[in-house]
Every structure is written in C-alpha cells, then in structure tokens.
Amino acid sequence: MSSPDIEVAILGAGPYGLSLAAHLAGSGLAVRVFGMPMQFWSQHMPSGTSLKSEGFASNLYDPDAQFTLEAYCSEQKLAYAHIGLPVKIEVFIAYALEFQRRYVPDVAKTSVTRLTPCAGGYSLTTEAGETLRARSVVVATGIMNFAQVPTQLARLPEGFATHTSNHNDFRRFKDQRVAVLGAGASALDAAALLQQAGAHTEVFARRAKIAFHSPPKLRRSWLERIKAPRSGLGTGWRSRFCTDIPLVFHALPEKLRFRAVERHLGPAPCWFVRDAVEGRLPLHLNCTLAEARVVGGKVRLEFDQAGEPRRRVVEVDHVIAGTGYKVALSRLSFIDPTLQARIRKSADTPVLDANFESTAPGLFFIGGAAANSFGPMLRFAFGAKFAAKRVSRRLRAA
C-alpha cells in the first residue's frame, strides 16, 4: 500500500478551517486547505450588517494569538473596541482574508465534491477535478449546507421563495412587497436591510415576542460581574461555563448537552437592529405559516394566528425564510454513503471524542457540526481557538 499524498486535508476556509491551518503551520505535516476563503460571510450573509459577537470575541486564531481583530484594526487605523462597538461585517471579512494571506497562503479555492474511505485514510475529489489521498480529514464546512426552509415554501415554483442565506444584497427587491419569516438574527437583519433597500417589508414570526439582545453595559459593578460574568458568548454563568470548560460540557450526558445547545443562545436579533425595525415595519407575532401558493404571479401566504379563529392572508411578491440552520450530516452530500455509514451519529450530528474525532478514524468535525459535543461556543468564531488547539495537538501526535 502506498502512503497517502498528504497527512491532513482541511475542508473549509472559514474561521475554523483557517485557525486550524494556522495552528498546523510549521508542524512538518503536509496540510492542504480546500474551500473559498470566508465564503459564507461574504456571499451568504448580508453586506451592510454588523456582527453579533463583540470585538474581543470576533477573531481568527494563530497559535500565539498575535493577529487579532484588534491588531488588524490598529494596523488599518480602524475604530475598534473590545465591547460595545459593533464590528462591521466588511471589516471582519477583510481581517479574516488578511489572516488567510499571512498564515494560510495556499488555500485550494475549490470545493470537495466526494470524500470516500480508502486504504490508509481518505480519498478526496475536488470540483477542479483533482483526486488525492489524505491520512486525516477535518470537516470545517460550517452551516452553509444546513439552511432550513419550511416545506410550504420549498414546494413553491422557483423564484418566489428564498432563504436568507441566498442573499448578500437586497437592492433587487426595491419597491417589491416582501414577507420575511422568522424572529432571529438572520430574519431581522434581512428585514432591516430590505426596508433600507426600499422594499415594502413585513415580518411574520411564530413567537409572541421578539427577544432582542440588550446593548452591553460598559461599566458594571462588582456584584453585576459576579452575578453575570462576561464571556465570549455574552454575559452569564451558563455562557461562561460553555466557553471555559468545553471538555466538561463534552462529558455531560447527551440529553443535557443537546438541550443546552437547543436552548442556550437562541436565535436572538442584536440590539442595534431593534431601532431599524421596531416602529418602522410591521412585525406580526404569533403567526404560524399554514399554506403558501402562487396565485396570479404573487405568493399567497396563509398564517394561523394564536387566539384568532381566521387565518391571516397576505399576498407578496417574494417571501424570504429567515428560519435558520439545523446541522444534519446526511445533507453533506460530498460524504460518500459508505463513509456516512461509518460515522456514528445522534440526531444526524456526529458523535465526537474529546479531540473532535468521529467514529471514522482520522475524520474530524469542527465548527457548528461539533456543537452537540462541545456546546454552543462551537457555533461562533470564538470556539475556533479551542477547536484549533485541540485538533492540531491530536494531529501532530498522530
């Protein structure tokens, strides 16, 4: 049996893949990174928004934690604050691409279309037509494959309904009537930007209330700090537990872990979006989508409303699902069925050991796909430090 072409293939060039690659630089291992650098952030999130995470929690990680967002902003003479100054998405993307140029200059800007087990590791085929073998593979493909669209919308003819991840720019909706479904950050960000772009926008949410985050308090008393310590995921002991002891989280019973990931840090919109939507566009609460049809070139939406005997009916030019993402490994179509069968899963998410390794030896998952194992921190760039340290140590020792 000949040895694999490379030791490590990293699939994904977002904050997780790039941080891991930076940690493996100089290890002597032959590593290749595949994917479009910061693709999700530049193509599948709307431009003109700001990050939910504070400045100090919006980094990519080199092993010495040298090139932080703060360092980049200082070099570029851009405004920066650890907390309280929202990070513009364009600034974060430019910083991450600079990180990539400095620490991971050789990204193969192509996607992996097929991943299969082979002797001594894994065989990868890329969209560019290359095939190679790697001893270990780290899947860092983020959440872009996991967009959730309600079945009523998925059945509509093409062009009438989309997901927030399909949009980076909302200007094409100027003067159109657009319904946005959802009560989380994606939905409310999209609604605010649609309104600014001149679309007649309405939001429909199942919830009784939109749970906007509160603005961070810059000065806090010692009592406030003890009661709700700050962490990279916001304030409070639960968040602090998630950021500081992810290995303890990993050791919790599965039921507890899954419940924590589902309930903690739900899809709340940011405080600075509140002013852009409240009082500026209709927010219809307690509305559950019951039916969607195209009638006379418009989308006719019918909503069941809590406490109302009759459905609310609206007609719009377009409907955008701001209904979030749900990790489902079976949707990663590049993973060959024979390999899918070797990965032990729970609720269609990978069961991972304390080093992020799945039950397929040498196959690792980092980022959102690892949240059920290590907690909600893994859904945010902040978790990339822990993941990069842990996986790089394991790969160096292999």
Ligand X SMILES: Cc1cc2nc3c(=O)[nH]c(=O)nc-3n(C[C@H](O)[C@H](O)[C@H](O)COP(=O)(O)OP(=O)(O)OC[C@H]3O[C@@H](n4cnc5c(N)ncnc54)[C@H](O)[C@@H]3O)c2cc1C
Binding status of residue 13 toward ligand X by CB under 6 A: yes
Angle subtended at Cα 85 by Cα 285 and Cα 41, rounded to the nearest 5 degrees: 70
What is each CA distance from 197 to 174, 191, 194, 218, 248, in whole angstroms? 6, 10, 5, 32, 46
The dihedral over CA atoms of 342, 347, 349, 353, expressed in degrees to the nearest 10, equals -70
> Between 240 and 279, how does the x/- string for binding to ligand X read (CB under 6 A)?
----------------------------------------
Binding status of residue 34 toward ligand X by CB under 6 A: yes
Binding status of residue 305 toward ligand X by CB under 6 A: no
Instruction: Figure out which of the listed residues 30, 144, 276, 290 binds ligand X, where binding follows CB under 6 A.
Output: 144
What is each CA distance from 10 to 134, 139, 218, in whole angstroms? 10, 6, 38
Per CB under 6 A, contacts with ligand X among 148-187 are 185-186
Phi/psi for 26 (5° steps) reads 80, 5
Instruction: Figure out which of the listed residues 6, 9, 11, 283 binds ligand X, where binding follows CB under 6 A.
Output: 11
Binding status of residue 39 toward ligand X by CB under 6 A: yes
Identity at 6, one-letter amino acid code: I
Q: Which one-letter DSSP state was computed for residue 307? A: T
Binding status of residue 334 toward ligand X by CB under 6 A: yes
Q: Write out the two tokens for 40.
A: 């999700």
Give me the least distance between CB of 185 and ligand X, in Å please: 5
Question: For ligand X, which is the closer residue by CB, 32 or 135?
Answer: 32
Handedness of CA 92, 93, 96, 102 (dihedral sign): negative
> Between 49 and 78, how does the x/- string for binding to ligand X read (CB under 6 A)?
--xxx----x--------------------
CA nearest to 303, candidates 205, 156, 161: 205
Binding status of residue 42 toward ligand X by CB under 6 A: no
Residues that bind ligand X (CB under 6 A): 11-17, 34-36, 39-41, 45, 51-53, 58, 111-112, 140-144, 185-186, 334, 367-368, 379-382
